[in-house]
Structure formats: structure tokens, C-alpha cells
Amino acid sequence: MKRTLKQLAAGAVTALGLTLATVPAQAADTIRIGSFLSVTGPASFLGDPELKTLELYIDKINERGGVLGKQLELVHYDDAGDASKARTFANRLLRQDRVDLIVGGSTTGATMAAVPLIQQAGVPFISLAGAETITTPVKKWVFKTPQSDRQAARRILMDMKERGFTKIGLISGTGGFGASGRNVTKEEAGNFGIEIVADETYNPKDTDTTAQLTRIRNTDGVQAILNFDFGQGPAIVTRNYAQLGIEIPFYQSHGVASDSFLELAGDAAEGLRLPASALLVADKLPESDPQYEVLNRYKSDYESRYNESVSTFGAYAYDGLQLAVQAINMAGGTDKAKVRDALESIDGAVGVTGTYRMSAEDHMGLDAESFRILQVEDGDWALTE
């Protein structure tokens, strides 16, 4: 019994794989959008909403008659968060499926593994991953939709400057995200006239950080504390912060801008500030906000189709697809070089994550202002303006 089930499953998987692979060969008169995302595996919280968003909007665009009279067709592979699989799938998208454009790459690892192949093949690629290295230095065919942690650090420092802080304490995790956040914060602080007078770290798996926080609190002149990290570490830091009764303003990074952080940190999160996508407060924005309509339409489209709340990660895919469609429209076809040039010339496309202004020097196109500074009030996010 067990064996037959296994064989059945294996058969089904092969059959699925075959259909996926053969479909594009039959359909000639469509615009083929290739994608590789981490739909399963450790980064599934990224890939899952991204794929759902792509499917949702490709359906919607096709219902309205497609792009330039052609239907869009999604050719998707699940890299399961594995960079070497991502490279294999990128190769298949380029050589076998001959896609017109790629929107994908949930993680920085997957993206960077695929970049050399894509650069060589000369196909426009919009990545959905965060790291700055993806578009710095600029690579001819590579674009991305999420902000880098540098923009987040700038946005936080900007807010601190506005509130008149000049000396701050920094506490960050020693994992990749925290370490990179710590570096960019230290690099950027000087530009805002801010001095980092205390700099502490903790292991992402630590269960107590009161010793580090006590050290920061006892440093002379600290006016605010920033915790740059993601995962459960910031929740523990936030709880320790409340436990110690530290009164000075507290900042978190965009890494924890989600409702699950509020649940983990509980009352301790009250009053802290962080930079986040406007999507978190879509319903609280004034209607005059340039992003108001885009944000709320995406939110209601997604939530009514999938019955789960939207995430900022899905929004990266939304923006990626919209930029792709706009570039194809501007180029008047799918000629790869023309689409690439069109992508680079996009100036002022209002997306969910922010308003994109691409240029030859900037293939990400968002500035620090695309982050909104939110404050936790009564266990919910509130805009600070």
C-alpha cells in the first residue's frame, strides 16, 4: 500500500513537471513570464505570497485582454529556497522555456545564483529579494523591487534626526540580516549627524539580552536605541526593554514589520517605532496619499481571493509584475533589449512598496521615503505623521 502511494505520488510529480515543461512549447502567441520562487522550504513565507500574487494578477490581466493583445503566461518553478536549484531553474527558463522576462528570486541567495546566467542570456530580470548587492553595482539586465536595508537605516536615522537625537545606542543580532543592518547603520549615521555611542550584539538564538541593554542604558548621553534584526530576537529585546523599564525612545527595523511581531512582543512593543511598507497601514492612510488606491486595491484583491492577510512580500511580486507589464507596454513588444531600456526609464510608477524611479544608475528605484515610520499604539500600527 505504502509503495503504491509513493509511486502514485512520484507519478503525479513527474506528470506535473512534464505539463509545466511542455506547456510553453505549445503556446507561441503569448507573453511568457518566467519565475522561480521559494514557495516551499525555509523561505516559504516569502515565496508563497509571491506566487499567489503573480497568479492572481496574471489571471486578472488576462481577463482584461492581456498585454498588447497577448495573453500572459506564467512559467513557474519552486526553488525551495535552494540557490543551486534556483540556478538550474533559471537555466531552464532561459534555454528551454525561452521566457520573455523573469520576475522571481525570493531570496538573495537564489537571485545571485541566477544572475550570471541571466546576464549572459540577456533577459530582463526583476528580483524580489532585498540585499543591496543585487543592484549595486548596477547589472545591465537585473532590477529589483524591495528596498535594501540601507534605505531602512536611512529612514530610521532621518526620523531620529527630526526628533533631534544625536547620540544613539545600537543593538543587533549577529545573523546575516542583523550584521548587515549594523554595518549600513554605522555607515549612514554620520550623514545624519548621529553618533553611535553604544554598539552591542547578541546571538539570534539568545533568550536574554538584558545585560547588553543595561550596558547601552548606562552609556552617557544615549537618546534612543535601535534594534536591527529580524525573527524572534527583536521580540526578546523588546520584552527585555520593557522589563528593564527603559524610558528612552526605541526603534526596530523593517525586519519585524509584521503582525506576528506584535503578537510575540505583546505590551512591551507599545510606543516603539519602525520603518515599514505603507501596506501595513493601508486602511489608515489619508485618501489623498498617492499610494492609497494601489495599496487598498491590492489588499482587497488578495484577501478576497485567498482568504488570508496580505504580506509585504507578496507586494514585491505585485510591483515586479506591474513594472514588467508597464515596460512591455512602453517597449511595444517583448524585444528584450527594448523592454530592458523601458524598465530603466520607468519614472514614477506607483506600486505597493513605493513609487519607482528607475535610472541607469539605480535599478531599484525606491528612496528611503518609501518606508513609512509607524508607531505601535494600543497593540496596533499607527502612522506617525
Partner 1 sequence: MFSEFFQFTFSGITLGAIYALVALGFTLIYNASHVINFAQGEFLMIGGMGTVVLMDAGVPIYFAIPLAIAMAGVAGILLHRLAIAPAKNADVVTLIIITIGASIFLRGLAQVFWGKEYHALPNFSATESISLGGATLLTQSLWILGIAAVLVTALGLFFTRTALGKALLATSMNKDAASLMGIKTSAILMMAFGISAVIGAAAGVIVAPITLTSYDIGIMLGLKGFIAAAIGGLGSSTGAILGGLLLGLAEAYTAGYISSDYKDAVPFVIILAILFFLPNGLLGSRAVERV
Strand-pair category, 101-104 with 30-37: parallel
- Determine the Cα–Cα distance for residues 208 and 372; give it in Å rounded to an integer: 30
Per CB under 8 A, the list member of 69, 137, 164, 245 interacting with partner 1 is 245
For the chain, report the end-to-end CA distance as a whole number of angstroms: 63
**227 within 8 A of 274, measured Cβ to Cβ:** no
**227 within 8 A of 253, measured Cβ to Cβ:** yes
379 binds partner 1 (CB under 8 A): no
DSSP letter for each residue of 230-295: -TTHHHHHHHHHHHTT--S-EEE-GGG-SHHHHHHHGGGGTT-EEEE-GGGGGGGS-TTSTTHHHH
9 binds partner 1 (CB under 8 A): no
- Determine the Cα–Cα distance for residues 190 and 144; give it in Å rounded to an integer: 27
Q: Which stretch binds partner 1 (CB under 8 A): 49-57, 81-89, 237-245, 318-326?
A: 237-245
Q: Which stretch binds partner 1 (CB under 8 A): 222-230, 239-247, 284-292, 307-315?
A: 239-247
214 binds partner 1 (CB under 8 A): yes
Least distance (Å) between residue 207 CB and partner 1:
4
Per CB under 8 A, the list member of 84, 96, 191, 207 interacting with partner 1 is 207
Least distance (Å) between residue 205 CB and partner 1:
4
Instruction: Identify which of residues 18 and 244 has a Cβ nearer to partner 1 in the complex.
Output: 244
243 binds partner 1 (CB under 8 A): yes
Least distance (Å) between residue 213 CB and partner 1:
9
Instruction: Identify which of residues 270 and 341 has a Cβ nearer to partner 1 in the complex.
Output: 270
- Determine the Cα–Cα distance for residues 73 and 66; give it in Å rounded to an integer: 10
10 binds partner 1 (CB under 8 A): no
| Residue 130 neighbours by CB distance under 10 Å | 27
- The residues in 45-64 that bind partner 1, with binding defined as CB under 8 A, are 45
The count of residues interacting with partner 1 (CB under 8 A) is 28
40 binds partner 1 (CB under 8 A): no
Instruction: Identify which of residues 172 and 322 has a Cβ nearer to partner 1 in the complex.
Output: 172
Per CB under 8 A, the list member of 35, 127, 180, 212 interacting with partner 1 is 212
* Residue 133 cell numbers, joined: 548587492
Q: Which stretch binds partner 1 (CB under 8 A): 147-155, 207-215, 276-284, 346-354?
A: 207-215
Before 124, cis peptide (omega within 30)?
Answer: no
Least distance (Å) between residue 228 CB and partner 1:
14
Query: What's the alpha-carbon Rg for the chain, to the nearest Å?
Result: 22
In a 10 Å sphere around its CB, with 0-12 CB exposed, 13-18 middle and 19+ buried, how is residue 137 labelled?
exposed
DSSP letter for each residue of 164-179: T--EEEEEEESSHHHH
66 binds partner 1 (CB under 8 A): no
290 binds partner 1 (CB under 8 A): no
Per CB under 8 A, the list member of 59, 195, 208, 293 interacting with partner 1 is 208
Binding mask 166-185 for partner 1 (x = CB under 8 A): --------x-----------
Instruction: Identify which of residues 269 and 323 has a Cβ nearer to partner 1 in the complex.
Output: 269
CA angle 305-307-308, nearest 5°?
120
- Determine the Cα–Cα distance for residues 134 and 163; give it in Å rounded to an integer: 33
- Determine the Cα–Cα distance for residues 144 and 135; give it in Å rounded to an integer: 7
* Residue 304 cell numbers, joined: 478576497
333 binds partner 1 (CB under 8 A): no
Residues that bind partner 1 (CB under 8 A): 42, 45, 174, 200-203, 205, 207-208, 210-212, 214-215, 218, 231-232, 235-236, 242-245, 260, 263-264, 266
